[in-house]
Structure 1
Amino acid sequence: MEAYVRRTDLKDGITEIEFFHPQHNALPGVLLSELAEAIHTCGKEDQVEVIILKSGGDRTFCAGASFDELVQIGNLEAGTVFFSGFANVINECRKCPKLIIGRVQGKAVGGGVGLAAAVDYCLATEHAAIRLSEITIGIGPFVIGPAVERKIGLAAFSQLSINATEFQSAQWAKEKGLYAEVYADAEQLDRGVMKIAASLAATSPEARAALKKVFWEGCEHWDSLLAERAAMSGRLVLSEFTKKALNKHR
């Protein structure tokens, strides 16, 4: 199956945005761009009440950045553009006036953890362990860092960033505040997602939009902050260490 970002309009104002990539839902630049655009578009449509962000397949939620694309980056401009893709998705989640529910059915690595942190309410299965592996390839979770730290705190973010070779369990992620609930399987997860989505869709749109502004208060500078972080990652990805590490892990 080919990679895609697609949108499904469900009843009562609930809209799903789903992404998929055959390599464990890794995110190359084109998918990041399409994902940011989908979130932006849904946020502007009056008929959309609630957005569900999910990935295809029944295993990995998101493996983070596409290593195939990372290894091809040859200059600072290209590196900055690639990492700006993650920055744009996070900022679209932040600025979208609609509440976004995350559905995490499996493991989340790197940028996948960033997506889970950027939504407003995230539900997962017990298989949805998380890991920030960036330092092992000579980079760091710089672009997604503000979103992850905002959700789980500096101490837990530091633990994930430093202990980069080990997964932390979905229950650990729930205890730290990344996940609101953890379910035994995808079927129960879907019921939980739809229950909270339907409940939210029945509430006042004005109240939801105001609540979202409150949630993200103090993050107004993220457009410039995440652009700076993207440039930082764009420089590091050019290092010989990173090139060797990427080729080793591909």
Structure 2
Amino acid sequence: MTQPYVNITTDNGVGTIEFFHPAHNSLPGDILAKLAQTITEAGKDEAIKVIVLKSGGNRTFCAGASFKELININDAETGKVFFSGFANVINAMRKCPKFIIGRVQGKTVGGGVGLASATDYCMATKFAAIKLSELNIGIGPFVVGPAVERKLGLSAMSQIAIDANSFYEAEWARDKGLFTKVFEDTETLDQEVKAFAEHLATYNPDAMTEMKNAFWAGTEDWDTLLAERAVISGRLVLGEFTKETLKRFK
């Protein structure tokens, strides 16, 4: 696999959305926009009862936003648009009337932790360590922060946001509530995700929609909140500290 993509397949009432990018599944703006659109459309598809969100490849679930695009930001508006990419996907997941099951096969960083946090039920392998690395380059996990905090709690989210150099093991993420189950390998993960999703698809769709609405109560302001957070990140990325830090990666 060399070309980035977002695909969806439907089988037995389960819509499986898969994204991929050859750079460790880091996601540029166009792929994020397509992912948000695909999630929204799947939410309207009557043939789909439950959604599975996964990434291609074996090693990394999602390395966050595209670093290539990040280092080329030179004005506040471009910065806002860039950081709105993950905000739009998280809001699409939040508003989707169907349960979204996360399938996390490997490490996930930054915005990828936000995606995992925005799923309604998430399973992983033991290789699925997580890291919020944004502070390392002079910004912070402002856009994904609300989703991560909602799932992990403020204390755990603060811990990984401040300790921006460290990966936290999948078992830690399970204990804090991000992952529901952690498996030894990807094959077992896929078997369990498939069985769980297909069983869930036999439930009353209206009941599941009402449950999802109840679970996400209190997040109705996230369209505005995450947009405001994107502005903060867009401003910080233009600062001298971040610009000097990014030069080392060019």
Q: TM-score, normalised by structure 2?
A: 0.98
The CA deviation string for residues 130-176 of structure 1, in whole angstroms up to 9 with x for no partner, is: 00000000110000000000000000000000111010000000000
Equivalence map 1:110-189=2 (5 Å): 110-189=110-189
Other structure's SS at 2:182 match: strand
User: Matches of 1:64 and 1:43 in 2, distance apart?
Assistant: 24
Equivalence map 1:187-198=2 (5 Å): 187-198=187-198
1:207 aligns with 2:204: no
User: Matches of 2:147 and 2:125 in 1, distance apart?
Assistant: 21
User: Matches of 1:5 and 1:50 in 2, distance apart?
Assistant: 18
Q: Corresponding residue for 1:9?
A: 10
2:227 aligned partner, one-letter code: A
**Deviation of the 1:245 alpha carbon:** 2.1
Equivalence map 1:13-52=2 (5 Å): 13-52=13-52
2:185 aligned partner, one-letter code: D
The CA deviation string for residues 5-46 of structure 1, in whole angstroms up to 9 with x for no partner, is: 111122x11011111111100011111100000000000111
**Deviation of the 1:192 alpha carbon:** 1.1
| Structure 1 residue ranges (4+ consecutive) displaced by more than 6 angstroms after TM superposition | none
Which is further off, 198-207 or 235-244?
Answer: 235-244
User: Matches of 2:33 and 2:244 in 1, distance apart?
Assistant: 27
Q: Corresponding residue for 1:88?
A: 88
1:147 aligned partner, one-letter code: A
1:58 aligned partner, one-letter code: N
Q: Contact 1:51–1:99 (CA<8 Å) still a contact in 2?
A: yes
Q: Contact 1:62–1:109 (CA<8 Å) still a contact in 2?
A: yes
Other structure's SS at 1:187 match: helix
**Deviation of the 1:199 alpha carbon:** 1.3
User: Matches of 1:185 and 1:248 in 2, distance apart?
Assistant: 36
% identity of equivalent residues:
60
Equivalence map 1:52-131=2 (5 Å): 52-131=52-131
User: Matches of 1:186 and 1:136 in 2, distance apart?
Assistant: 30
May I ask how many residue pairs the two structures share in their alignment?
249
1:6 aligned partner, one-letter code: N
Q: Contact 1:13–1:50 (CA<8 Å) still a contact in 2?
A: yes
User: Matches of 1:53 and 1:249 in 2, distance apart?
Assistant: 30
The CA deviation string for residues 206-248 of structure 1, in whole angstroms up to 9 with x for no partner, is: 1000010011011001010001001111111112221232232
Q: Contact 1:67–1:246 (CA<8 Å) still a contact in 2?
A: no
**Deviation of the 1:200 alpha carbon:** 0.7
Q: Which runs of 5+ in 1 are unaligned?
A: none
The CA deviation string for residues 54-103 of structure 1, in whole angstroms up to 9 with x for no partner, is: 00000000000111000111100000011111110000000000100000
User: Matches of 2:22 and 2:233 in 1, distance apart?
Assistant: 25
User: Matches of 2:245 and 2:193 in 1, distance apart?
Assistant: 37
